[in-house]
Chain A
Amino acid sequence: MPINYILPEFEVRRDYDRCICCRVCERQCANLVHRYDEDAGKMLSDESKCVDCQRCVTLCPTRALKILKNENSFRENGNWSARTMTEIYRQADTGGVLLSSMGNPSEMPVYWDRILINASQVTNPSIDPLREPMETRTYLGAHPSEMRRDAEGRLITSLPPHLELDVPIMFSAMSYGSISYNAHESLARAAAELGTFYNTGEGGLHEDFYKYGPNTIVQVASGRFGVHKAYLEAGAAIEIKMGQGAKPGIGGHLPGKKIVGDISRTRMIPEGSDAISPAPHHDIYSIEDLRQLVYSLKAATEYKKPVIVKIAAVHNIAAIASGVARSGADIIAIDGFRGGTGAAPSRIRDNVGIPIELALAAVDQRLRDEGIRDRVSLVAGGSIRSSADAVKAIALGADAVYIGTAALLALGCHLCRSCHAGKCNWGIATQEPELAKRLNPDIGYARLVNLVTAWNREIKEMMGGMGINSIEALRGNRLMLRGVGLTEKELEVLGIKHAGE
């Protein structure tokens, strides 16, 4: 009998005094953890299959269930954690590349939590957002460099194409395929109601969603899945995905079992085939090639739509961004190493890339040093977890932020990080109709609208506290931030002072 090295990570603890054997847990667990035993007359659980998605816990009407970390422990070891050891067992078993989903969960520094925001006092009044206008409207796009006047001396008011956002928050790229049709519908409807945008990701755009086109950013990734003329025309902007924060240097990965039906049709690839996007775009091997693609896309859409270039935060992000800013892109989206993903090799997700806080600060400063900051707008993503993170990002220099994981949490995700298995119990990261059903877009889109509306109100509160009533005045306003517990070098890269200074 072979030895099972992979022990259950979780323990399912059921309070039998509370359990009424309603069997809802049994019916709702896609991993078949729970079952009703006739002979014993009670519910039993096979914890080896549990992924801690919390579906059973949240649905149990008598709150009889808890999922706990399996207390069975290896001998304590500061160098070899249980997780590291188990990963080696897994690789010894299978010979495969470890796959993970969602963002880097490791204990690396979170700079948002070490940055503090200012408030006005005495010398400068704070502004009351309930009683005074407080503007969070944002425009993303390039700014013209020359003023032109007509024969009568009046300004000619033509502008390059911009995206108009009512709130400085957009939904980040999550492909149709990695997440379900219902999840996309929720995002599209929420974006339309909020006056912002959602992103198709690299899975193409399902024809049912063309009607939300004015609130859609269509993505062109290295696999060029689903890219055709109507697709480009349908969106309000086109995003070229050069990299993704969760997996810089490699392309997207959608396991074959998720490529079924509409997914395969929308992506324009055969069913069951693994969709592994190439690492680079095979027609972009250098910055000048990127410039050609940017202009091809603009020409294909009659220069009516802004072009976004999404890059992953890596070591020389500032120089890369500078190059992109000169390539004709209107907006640069930077994705930090904490960004989420449907599936990525664990080693790349956890070890490659740099934090968005540092990348954003470096890019914003570099573009200003070179005098080209006004050629592009910057969008920051890769773990924006709250409105405070968003305010800090804008003060560091972003024009707007992308939220991915936060949006999925609003839809019901509990970060069990098993998306790559395709059995999402919340109906988000799955293509099985029985499971996808669990996300009702009527409920999902309302929750997204609630989340972003709440964040927008909080942003206004914080802005008012700083004495700012238009978001443009917060952008790049580093003096509104102070760091705590950061080294000289970290403060220098972030371009902020230490608290107390």
Chain B
Amino acid sequence: MYVNEKWCLGCHLCEYNCAFAESGLSDMVKALKGRAIRPRIRVEERGNVHYAVSCRHCGDPVCVKGCLTGALAVKDGAVTVDRKRCVGCLTCVALCPYGAISPSEDGPMQKCELCLETAAGTPACAAGCPNGAIVYEER
């Protein structure tokens, strides 16, 4: 996932699309109404600069190295979390240079997993970006 800061408008639609995709529901209103979202992509902004941050799926991920229980692993090129193994030690959160990992609602850590297991299939943030700021491609 690559974000082009030049085109990011700070609209935050990527966050909502991520949360929706993760919910596994087919109706966005039902999925998100009345709930505070915890998206796996977050827009960082100051003044006129906006930038959506998500897991970089690093080639040599520091978080995987630091994970105490082996919950974090590289699967099919993506860095994924095994929810059953995560004990919530927050080591990965501290280690990730991008701040891409955060606790989920019910405890285990969560991060972008390229929508491989969600209802969306292809990354929802990229598909829903109105200005082509997020692209999903090999580089």
Residues of A within 8 A of B (CB): 17-20, 22-24, 27-28, 59, 61-62, 433-434, 437-438, 440, 442-443
Docked Cα-Cα span, A18 to B34, in Å, equals: 10
The answer to whether B29 and A17 touch across the interface, beta carbons within 8 angstroms, is yes
Docked Cα-Cα span, A325 to B16, in Å, equals: 59
B15: A residues at CB distance < 8 A: 22
The answer to whether A18 and B9 touch across the interface, beta carbons within 8 angstroms, is no
Q: How far is the CB of A43 from chain B (nearest CB, A)?
A: 12
Docked Cα-Cα span, A17 to B32, in Å, equals: 11
The answer to whether A440 and B132 touch across the interface, beta carbons within 8 angstroms, is yes
Q: How far is the CB of A15 from chain B (nearest CB, A)?
A: 9
Q: How far is the CB of A431 from chain B (nearest CB, A)?
A: 14
The answer to whether B11 and A28 touch across the interface, beta carbons within 8 angstroms, is yes
The answer to whether B131 and A24 touch across the interface, beta carbons within 8 angstroms, is no
- The residue in A18, A438, A440 that gathers the most chain B C-beta atoms within 10 A of its C-beta is A440
Q: DSSP class of A's interface residues: helix, strand, loop or mixed?
A: loop
A19: B residues at CB distance < 8 A: 33
How many CB-defined contacts (below 8 Å) exist between A and B? Answer: 53
The answer to whether B7 and A440 touch across the interface, beta carbons within 8 angstroms, is yes
Docked Cα-Cα span, A443 to B17, in Å, equals: 20
Annotate B19-40 by CB proximity to A: 1 below 8 A, 0 otherwise.
Answer: 0100000001100111000000
Q: How far is the CB of B12 from chain A (nearest CB, A)?
A: 6
B6 on interface, CB distance cutoff 8 Å? yes
With A22-B32, A59-B130 given, name 6 new contacts (CB 8 A). Answer: A22-B13, A24-B12, A24-B13, A61-B17, A440-B131, A442-B132
B61 on interface, CB distance cutoff 8 Å? no
Residues A62 and B29 in contact in the complex (CB < 8 Å), given A24-B11, A27-B11, A27-B12: yes
Docked Cα-Cα span, A434 to B48, in Å, equals: 7
The answer to whether B11 and A59 touch across the interface, beta carbons within 8 angstroms, is yes
Could you give 22 example pairs across A and B, Cβ below 8 Å? A18-B33, A20-B16, A20-B28, A20-B29, A20-B32, A22-B12, A22-B13, A22-B15, A22-B16, A23-B12, A24-B13, A59-B11, A59-B13, A61-B13, A61-B17, A61-B20, A61-B28, A61-B128, A62-B28, A437-B9, A438-B131, A442-B132
A433: B residues at CB distance < 8 A: 48
Docked Cα-Cα span, A18 to B28, in Å, equals: 9
Docked Cα-Cα span, A367 to B73, in Å, equals: 77
Docked Cα-Cα span, A19 to B17, in Å, equals: 14
B133: A residues at CB distance < 8 A: 440
B16: A residues at CB distance < 8 A: 20, 22, 24, 61
B81-139: which residues lie under 8 A (CB-CB) from chain A? 128, 130-133
B128: A residues at CB distance < 8 A: 61
Residues A20 and B33 in contact in the complex (CB < 8 Å), given A59-B130, A61-B128: yes
B132: A residues at CB distance < 8 A: 440, 442-443
A438: B residues at CB distance < 8 A: 9, 131
Docked Cα-Cα span, A62 to B33, in Å, equals: 10
Docked Cα-Cα span, A18 to B29, in Å, equals: 6
The answer to whether A437 and B7 touch across the interface, beta carbons within 8 angstroms, is yes
- The closest CB in chain B to the CB of A446 belongs to B132
Q: How far is the CB of B5 from chain A (nearest CB, A)?
A: 10
A24: B residues at CB distance < 8 A: 11-13, 16
Q: How far is the CB of B33 from chain A (nearest CB, A)?
A: 5
Docked Cα-Cα span, A28 to B11, in Å, equals: 6
Docked Cα-Cα span, A49 to B18, in Å, equals: 31
- The closest CB in chain B to the CB of A433 belongs to B48
Docked Cα-Cα span, A48 to B48, in Å, equals: 26
- The closest CB in chain B to the CB of A27 belongs to B11
Docked Cα-Cα span, A24 to B131, in Å, equals: 13
Q: How far is the CB of A302 from chain B (nearest CB, A)?
A: 39
